[in-house]
Structure 1
Amino acid sequence: MNIRLQLFELEDQPWFPHVIRQGMLDFLRFMISKLGAYEEGLPLLQELLERTQQRHVTDLCSGASGGIEGIQKALSKRMGFPVHVTLSDLYPNIKSYEYLRAQSGGRIDFIPEPVDATAVPATVKGVRTIFSSFHHFPPKAAQAILQDAADKRAAIGIFEGASKTWPELLLLWLVFPFVILLVTPFIRPFKLSRLFFTYLVPLIPLGIIWDGTVSLLRIYTPDMLRKMAANVHAPNYTWRAGKAGTKPGKYVIYLIGYPEGS
C-alpha cells in the first residue's frame, strides 16, 4: 500500500466525546499489550539506548500509552537494568498515566504539562519515542518533529505497529468487530461506560474501525520516512527506516535517528 491519505481520525477531533475516545484508546492499549505488537522494535530501541548510553526513554504523543508497560519491562530485561519511561502528550491522559505509574512501581512516570512533539522543551531528556502516533501528523509537522530531535541532538525512534498492507485492512473490517466484542469485558481498569458504548450503543467499535482504517491509510511507508529524514538539516546525524517482523500482529514500520559519535 504505497499511498498515504491525510484523512481525519475521530479521536483527533476536539468535538469528539471524551468517553468514546477513551474507550477506543483503552482497547488499543489492551491489544498492543496482549499481542506484544512492538516486540520487533525492541532491538532498535535498545540500540538507541546503547548508542547514547542512556537508561531513560521519553515517550512523546503517548495518548493512552498503549503497550508501554510491556515495552518497559521487556526493554529492561534486554538491557539488564531498569529502564525508566516518562510519558508525555500535548493533551496528557493523566488518569491512564497515574494508573501505569502505580502498576510499574514508579518506573513509568509522566509529565503533567502539555508537551509539543514539534518543540520539546530542552529540559526533557532521554531517548525520544513515538508509538502508533506519528501518522497523525501531516508531513510538515512530522518533519518538524524530526528536525526538533536533530536540533537538540536527541535520539528518536518512530514506531508504527503495522505493515500497511491491504490484507491488514480486510482483517480490520472483517475480524476486528468480533474481537472488540470479545475482549472488552477484560480491559482494565473496568468501566461501565465502556460496556455501555460497546454493547448497547456501539460507538466505541464504530470509532475503532473508522480510526483504524484511517490510521492505515495515513501511516508513512519506510520510503516516505527516508525522504522525510533526508530533508532534516542536521550535521552528523544518522537516520534508518524500514520494516521489522515476520508474523501477523508483529509488523513494525520504524524510523530511528541518532547523533553520530553518541
Structure 2
Amino acid sequence: MASPWIPRMHLWEIDDQPWFPSFLRAYVQTGLTHAWTVHIPFLQASSPATIVADTLRRVLGSSVSRHTYIDFCAGAGGPTPFIERALNSQLARSAAHTVPATASSGVTVDGTSNASSSETPSYAAVADPEKKSATVHDEDAAVQFVLTDLHPHVESWEAASKKSDHLTYVSSPVDAASAPEVLLRRYAGKDKKKGIFRLFNLAFHHFDDDLARAILKNTVETSEGFGIFELQERTLGGFATCLMFGFFIFLVAPLLYWWSPVRLFFVYVIPVVPFVLVFDGIISCLRTRTADEVEALLRTCGADSDGWEVKSGREQVIWPCGYLNWVICSKKAA
C-alpha cells in the first residue's frame, strides 16, 4: 500500500447501521460486487476479482492448490464466487499445459510452462454468473471455496453455489474470531491434506483493533494462511477512486439495472445508493490498514506467529488511481 497521508480512523459506515433499510443495503452490496467483477475496457486490464485470483496463484506458488479457501465475511457472496471461477480456470489451464520434464526442453516454474504461467483468463470466461465452472476438468487441480458469515445470506449463497461444483457455503452463523472446529475439520479433510486459507475481501477494515487481533489469533491457531484484499487505501488517490465510483454508478446503472425501476429510482431520483457507496467508500479508506499495521496486529494477537511470513503489494485495478491492496500471510515452509 502507498504511504497513508492520514492516521487510521475507525469511524462508522452507513451500510453497517441497523437502521439502514435492508433492501437498500442489498442494493449497495450489489454495487460493491460490481466493483469487484465489472471489467471496463481501456480503463482496466481485468476485473479486481480476477486480479485477486492472479495474486493468490502468484504469491502462494505451488501451494495454492493445497488449500481450501474460506471467506469468513462473505456477506451476500461478494467477489468470492468470481475469484473461485478465475482461480480454478487458471489452475485447470496450468494443469492442461504442464509438460513432463523429459518431454520438453523449455523452462518450467512450479511444474507449469512459462507460456501457460503468464496466461490469465479473460473476464468473459469468469464473470458470466450463469456459467458453471465446467472448464475445470482436472479435479485434483481444482480448489474448494466456502462462503461463511456471522449473518449468513443462505439464499444468495445457494444460488451462487449451484453455478459451480467448487463453491459451497455454511448456512449457520460463523464467527471469524472463533471458527468452529467441526467446520475446519470438514474442509481440511480427514487426512488434513488441505490447509485452511482464510479470505477477507473488502472486510478486514470493518474490525476494530481488539476484534482484528482476536480474529488473527484464531487464524494463526487454526489455519495455514489468510489473505486481506481491499479496494481502497488512505491516500488521495484512494479518496478520488471512491468519488469516481459514484460517478461510474450513474453512468452504468441503466445497463446493470434496466430491469429494476425501483433500483434506478434510488440511483437517480433519490440517489441513496451512490451516496452511500461514496460515503462508505471514503470511510473505508480511513479505516483501511497498511501491511505494517496488519503485521503489528498479527505479532501482538496473543498467538505464536513467529513461523508466519507477511507479503503485501498493490495492483492497479482501474486507471488512473484505483488500486487493489493485498496482504497475504502464511506459515513458512518447513
Note whether the superposition's TM-score is higher than 0.5: yes
The answer for the alignment partner of 1:54 in structure 2 is 66
1:210 aligns with 2:267: no
Question: What is the one-letter code of the residue matched to 1:181?
Answer: F
**CA shift at 1:31, angstroms?**
1.8
1:183 counterpart (247, 252, 255): 252
Question: What secondary structure does 2:8 align onto?
Answer: coil
Query: Alpha-carbon deviation of 1:188?
Result: 7.0
**Is 1:157 paired with 2:161?**
no
Q: RMSD over aligned Cα, in angstroms?
A: 2.5
User: Structure 1 residues 247, 181: closer, same or farther in 2, change over 3 A?
Assistant: closer
| CA distance 1:188–1:147, shift in 2 (3 Å) | farther
Corresponding residue for 1:37? 48
Q: C-alpha offsets along residues 187-232 of structure 1, whole Å, 9 cap, x if unaligned? A: 3795443223222222111111111110111000122112112223
Q: Secondary structure at the match of 2:18?
A: coil
**Alignment partner, residue 155 of structure 2:** 95
Identity across matched positions, percent: 27
Give the Cα–Cα distance (whole angstroms) in 2 for the partners of residues 116 and 190 of structure 1.
Answer: 36
User: What corresponds to 2:208 in structure 1?
Assistant: 138
Equivalent of 1:75 in 70, 87, 107: 87
- Where has structure 1 moved over 6 Å in runs of 4 or more? none
Q: Is the 8 A contact 2:206 2:287 kept in 1?
A: yes
Instruction: Quote the Cα distance in structure 2 between the aligned partners of 1:225 and 1:145.
Output: 12
Which secondary structure state, in structure 2, belongs to the residue aligned with residue 69 of structure 1?
helix
Letter of the aligned partner of 1:86 in structure 2? Answer: V
Question: What stretches of structure 2 of length at least 5 have no aligned partner?
Answer: 40-46, 93-140, 185-195
Moved more, 212-221 or 147-156: 147-156
Residue pair 2:233, 2:288 contacting (<8 A) in 1 also: no
TM-score (norm 2): 0.70
- Between structure 1 and structure 2, the one with the greater Rg is 2
TM-score normalised by length of structure 1: 0.88
Instruction: Say if 1:140 and 1:201 are closer, same or farther in 2 by CA, change over 3 A.
Output: same
Structure 1 partner of 2:12: 8
Secondary structure of residue in 1 paired with 2:318: coil
Could you tell me whether the CA contact under 8 Å between 2:48 and 2:317 is conserved in 1? no
- Within the candidate set 264, 267, 291, 1:195 is matched to 264
Larger RCO, structure (CA 8 Å, separation 6 or more): 1
Distance 2:55 2:237 in 1: 26
Runs of at least 5 residues in structure 1 that lack an aligned partner in the other structure:
none
Instruction: Return closer, same or farther for 1:172/1:83 CA change in 2, 3 Å cut-off.
Output: same
CA change 1:147–1:172 in 2 (3 A) is: same
The verdict on how the C-alpha distance between 1:40 and 1:52 changes in structure 2, with shifts beyond 3 A counting, is closer
Counterpart of 2:153, as a letter, is N
More moved, 44-53 vs 211-220: 44-53
Asked if residue 258 in structure 1 is aligned to residue 296 in structure 2, the reply is no
8 Å contact kept, 2:246–2:278 = yes
Pairs aligned (count): 260
